Amino acid sequence: MKSRALVLACLVAAWPLANAAQQASTKAFTGARLIDGTDRAPVDNATIVVRDGKIVAAGAGATVPAGAERVSLAGKTVIPGLVNAHGHVGNTVGLEQGKYSAENVERDLKTYASYGVTTVFSLGDDQAAGIAARDSQKTPSLSRARLYVAGPVLAPKSPEEAVKLVDEVAAMKVDIVKIRVDDNLGTTQKMAPEIYRAVIDQAHKKGLPVAVHLFYLADAKAVLDAGADFIAHSVRDTDVDDSFVSMIKRRDVCYSPTLMREVSTFVYESKPAWFTDPLFLKHADAKTLETLQQPARQEQMRNSKSAQAYKKGLEVASRNVKKLSDAGVRIAMGTDTGPPARFQGYFELMELELMAKAGMTPQKVLAASTRDAARCMKLDREIGTIEANKWADFVVLDADPLANVSNVKKINAVYVAGNRVAE
Ligand SMILES: [Zn+2]
């Protein structure tokens, strides 16, 4: 009895404090041009009200609650935080891979966020620290990119092993299963159909979608036929045909172009133009850049057959993304960043530029990079647009990306759960 009275007294005493804390956690972002990521037209002089990390109201009609902390965004344009449907985290230090650690996961998620990429789906090489990062992110205090994971890329040698490996990643509580169906330009053995079918069937039994790395059109059709849920790279051997378009649309499968992945395979044959961009240099490691510019290394890339083949692959990929986007296939922005020399954050901004260069309108590019990517990854109840009840993940720009997609590089501030991300 005595302790119950004490608890009650404490509750009563804490009540005004809790109320004050709640008011302090309400923020109102005012005066911006709002591109909310839906099909609605942009709204000028909008207000975004955020409480406990989530959007309460957004638009021209939203009112600022009494006691809210006001943040003026006059003259700015706000877009939803970018969603990268194909990245990787935690593995790379400089140009070395295989360095997975909790610190590297945290570092990468901060880097992504500082460039406006507020959610990343890591499609492979994920370990316990990544799962822990995912499990701890549903909090109003978050200020780094959200993470979802695939666990290790599965490479079973038999249908039986496929079942075993899927069961293992399901037990890890991954968000998606990732496999590769590719011969790496004819240099390695491709996963056999009976094996990827076993992976897909078992994953579906466990309630998990399957993302497939591929290169060839024939494989893209075959894995769609087998039930694959996500095409994790562009078709790069040849132009997609109408039968592929109708197959991918019928199954409502999303397609992630990862154009910057191709760029990374050949671009260091000389010094890339962006190596002098202050926005890039903010997070790029000087020693890595120096190594990438060593003449012997550049020459090796110039003479590399695979580099030159992937350079051609980029042209095919660019035509394909335009054709698929025009046909109404859902495109999910992805880059395959994270491995060495695939720079997280900055590459996503360049991916948007490459999608525009391929012929997609700025509006379609933005949709693919926000709402559609979120829908593809089944995250659209929580992120992807600036609407009530979603996390307050958004990017404040100095210029309108619908006028020119490159304006996504004019970052004024990035917010995750309403918290300003470190630059
Ligand atoms: Zn990848």
What's the pLDDT at 25?
A: 85
Give the residues of the chain that fall short of pLDDT 50.
1-18, 20
**Ligand 1 center–CA 87 separation, angstroms:** 6
pTM of the model: 0.94
Tokens of 32: 């911006």
**Ligand 1 center–CA 259 separation, angstroms:** 12
**Ligand 1 center–CA 255 separation, angstroms:** 13
- Counting residues of the chain whose pLDDT is more than 70, the rounded percentage is 94
**Ligand 1 center–CA 21 separation, angstroms:** 42
**Ligand 1 center–CA 199 separation, angstroms:** 18
Backbone angles phi, psi at 190, to 5 degrees: -80, 145
**Ligand 1 center–CA 86 separation, angstroms:** 6
Predicted confidence (pLDDT) per residue in 62-85, tens digit: 999 999 999 999 999 999 999 999
**Ligand 1 center–CA 138 separation, angstroms:** 25
Q: How far is it, in rounded angstroms, from Cα 38 to Cα 293?
A: 42
What's the pLDDT at 53?
A: 97
DSSP letter at 234?
Answer: -
Predicted confidence (pLDDT) per residue in 266-299, tens digit: 999 999 999 999 999 999 999 999 999 999 999 9
Tokens of 271: 């010094």
**Ligand 1 center–CA 275 separation, angstroms:** 23
What's the pLDDT at 132?
A: 98
For 6-58, give the DSSP string: HHHHHHHHHHHHHHHHHHHTEEEEEEEEE--SSSSPPEEEEEEEEETTEEEEE
What's the pLDDT at 10?
A: 46
Residue for token digits 């309403």?
A: 418
**Ligand 1 center–CA 338 separation, angstroms:** 8
- Mention every residue, 6+ apart, whose C-beta is less than 8 A from residue 259: 234, 314, 317, 318, 321, 335, 351, 354, 355, 358
What's the pLDDT at 24?
A: 57
